[in-house]
Amino acid sequence: MTAAGDPLGSGLVASLARPGGNVTGMSLMVPDLGAKRLELLKEVLPRLSRVAVLWNADNPYSVLVFKETQAGGRTLGIEVRSLEVRGPDDFDSAFEAAGGLRPDALITVEDPLTGDHRTRIAEFTARQQLPSLHGIREFVAAGGLISYGPSIVDLFRRAAYYVDKILRGAKPADLPVQQPTKFEMVINLKTAKALSLELPASVLARADEL
């Protein structure tokens, strides 16, 4: 695995420390990711009180991230509302529901479904003048405001190290599933300008790419 969402919840491995079968590699999972994203949005939008989360309800990884975001919202005093999708035909109804919720920002949980429709998501947030935060940089390249999450490039590099070990005789069952150690934040300044949003210097200074 190069960047699996939730290999444990998906039943691919018996445990992260001892996979136990013929599968191992890199996972996207990291504790408190949802809360950290809310904290970042709070820095950008100090008056943040309501966030809508767009997520694939059929993906165990997305379920975990959404629950963590809910927990973070309770701690930070931010209302977290759910926008569930399960297939390509669900986005229009999710966007319509978001209009009724009137959130201060949108968070998208990264997974193959939302990733495939990142341009639609970016176009929606642009129409709604809605600040957005996403899990991977591809959403920002499509027009989203900010991405914060594990570095996919770093996970692929580390996965190559595991491939080498397995080709040299190591058993996948003996190689722990590794979690992200490198995170990146990317900001789309053009989108910030279109939103008439002045980003704090402290946030800009921490960005890996502008």
| pLDDT tens series, the chain, 210 aa | 998 888 888 888 998 899 988 999 999 887 688 899 999 999 999 999 999 999 999 998 899 899 999 999 999 999 999 999 999 999 999 999 998 999 999 999 999 999 999 999 999 999 999 999 999 999 999 999 999 999 989 999 999 999 999 999 999 999 999 999 899 999 999 999 999 999 999 999 999 999
Say what the pTM is: 0.90
Where do we find the tokens 């176009």? 123
- CATH superfamily entry for domain 33-150: Response regulator (3.40.50.2300)
Residue in 28, 96, 40, 92 with CA at minimum distance from that of residue 69: 40
